[in-house]
């Protein structure tokens, strides 16, 4: 049995909790002792039993700076997360180190956790990055613009990357570690596991080909909705955010469809739920049992969360995206580039959105490619995650001798 430390530092939404939940289950099945450091504990009860799981509050940076400029790169994001000055970054690294020492960590799994990775490196711990392609820019390259996925500057470093690097390198130097040449070098690890299809990795053409792609099945969640009726007729399934600025337009479009539309919209007030149910939508504030909802699903609509998107494609279901932040957009672009989906740019009124969705659903080429993809990965849908995790842990321990 090994003490395994799992870190989640950046990003939001339930997708990260879903990933850590799957990891925690696999580690427990293998007989290891996992300790979980989570950025957001507010929804942890939906994924973990706190009396049976060792959970810590991750060191998170309380944002002091605001910017009028778009957060369109890893550097611009990290500047808002403690990387502006060596002193603040040093505190974050030391806090992560102390957590790892407290947990007696022997291996570190990092899920969008660059500062935790620095701490693990300083302690000589093997690092397994478990994340999405978007969150793991390939080491050795200048920063990428998240809107175009091209380098921020043609030569050298952007001003934001230079500031982050200066802070990171001073802290690393104080800890007796080598300096980074590029900010992406912070993503150096012993093993990389991506929890989605390779086709959805926006940087797949830049990888070294030794990465592991293991699409995760979505875990059961406390209070999720399910029904036998869902598998009896064709459906459209939508996962939407209650704070999506154009939610009413999209719901208005979906209410025009003659087939069953199943919608999960966590956080939507009861009066709004009832309003849309009166308009013919089967809409819930809980998450859905997607294994059942996907049985006869003809189309999956979401903002582009990598977990549900990957799961839909594994089931051979075409995807239509409604992106409204950078990671959403990257996943939607990857799906479109792979010929497995598309995303809406113009969302003006319910009729035009309904017309766009109908037009997309008539695209037999995308439907055929999605079905072929589902068949290609059929044997991986239920492949035990514990096998992949066990392989990764044995690999890093055999190298490091711990």
**Taking the domains of the chain in order of start, what are their residue ranges?**
3-217+382-400, 228-379
CATH of domain 3-217+382-400: 3.40.50.2000
The pLDDT score that the predictor gives to residue 402 is: 45
Phi, psi of 366 (to 5 degrees): -65, -40
Q: In the CATH hierarchy, which top-level class contains the domain 228-379?
A: alpha beta
pTM of the predicted model over 0.75: yes
pLDDT tens across 115-157, in order?
Answer: 999 999 999 999 999 999 999 999 999 998 988 888 888 888 8
Q: Please give the C-alpha separations between residue 209 and each of 105, 198, 203, 348, in angstroms, as whole numbers.
A: 28, 11, 11, 42
The pLDDT score that the predictor gives to residue 50 is: 80
Contacts for 173 with CB less than 8 Å, ≥ 6 apart: 179
Neighbours of 109 (CB within 10 A): 32
Beta strands 212-213 and 235-239 are unpaired
Q: Transcribe 229-282 into DSSP letters.
A: GGGGS-EEEEE--TT-TTHHHHHHHHTT-SSEEEEE-TT--HHHHHHHHTTT-E
Q: Indicate the length of the chain as a whole number.
A: 402
pLDDT tens across 165-174, in order?
Answer: 999 999 999 9
The answer to whether 3-217+382-400 and 228-379 have equal CATH topology is: yes
| Segments of the chain with pLDDT less than 70 | 64-68, 218-223, 228-232, 380-382, 400-402
């Amino acid at each position: 049995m090994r003490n395994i430390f799992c870190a989640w530092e950046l990003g939001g939404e339930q997708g990260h909790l879903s990933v850590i939940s799957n990891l925690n289950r696999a580690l427990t099945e293998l007989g290891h002792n996992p300790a979980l450091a989570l950025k957001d504990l507010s929804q942890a009860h939906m994924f973990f039993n706190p009396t049976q799981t060792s959970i810590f509050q991750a060191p998170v940076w309380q944002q002091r700076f605001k910017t009028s400029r778009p957060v369109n790169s890893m550097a611009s994001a990290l500047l808002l997360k403690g990387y502006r000055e060596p002193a603040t970054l040093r505190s974050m690294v030391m806090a992560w180190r102390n957590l790892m020492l407290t947990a007696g960590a022997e291996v570190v799994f990092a899920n969008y956790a660059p500062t935790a990775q620095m701490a693990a490196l300083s302690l000589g711990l093997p690092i397994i990055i478990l994340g999405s392609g978007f969150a793991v820019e390939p080491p050795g390259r200048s920063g990428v613009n998240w809107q175009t996925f091209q380098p921020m500057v043609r030569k050298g470093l952007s001003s934001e990357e230079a500031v982050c690097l200066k802070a990171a390198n001073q802290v690393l130097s104080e800890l007796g570690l080598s300096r980074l040449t590029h900010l992406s070098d912070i993503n150096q690890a012993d093993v990389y596991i991506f929890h989605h299809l390779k086709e959805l990795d926006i940087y797949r053409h830049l990888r070294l080909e030794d990465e592991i792609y293991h699409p995760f099945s979505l875990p059961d969640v406390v209070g999720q909705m399910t029904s036998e009726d869902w598998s009896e007729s064709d459906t459209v399934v939508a996962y939407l955010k209650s704070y999506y600025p154009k939610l009413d337009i999209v719901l208005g479009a979906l209410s025009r469809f003659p087939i069953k539309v199943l919608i999960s919209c966590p956080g939507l007030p009861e009066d709004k739920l009832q309003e849309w149910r009166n308009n013919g939508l089967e809409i819930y504030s809980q998450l859905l049992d997607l294994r059942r909802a996907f049985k006869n699903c003809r189309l999956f609509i979401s903002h582009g969360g990598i977990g549900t998107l990957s799961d839909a494609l594994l089931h051979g279901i075409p995807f239509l995206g409604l992106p409204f932040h950078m990671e959403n957009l990257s996943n939607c672009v990857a799906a479109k580039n792979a010929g497995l989906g598309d995303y809406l740019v113009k969302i003006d009124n319910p009729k035009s959105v309904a017309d766009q969705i109908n037009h997309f659903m008539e695209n037999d080429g995308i439907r055929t490619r999605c079905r072929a993809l589902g068949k290609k990965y059929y044997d991986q849908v239920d492949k035990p995650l514990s096998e992949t995790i066990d392989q990764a842990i044995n690999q890093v321990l055999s190298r490091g001798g711990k």
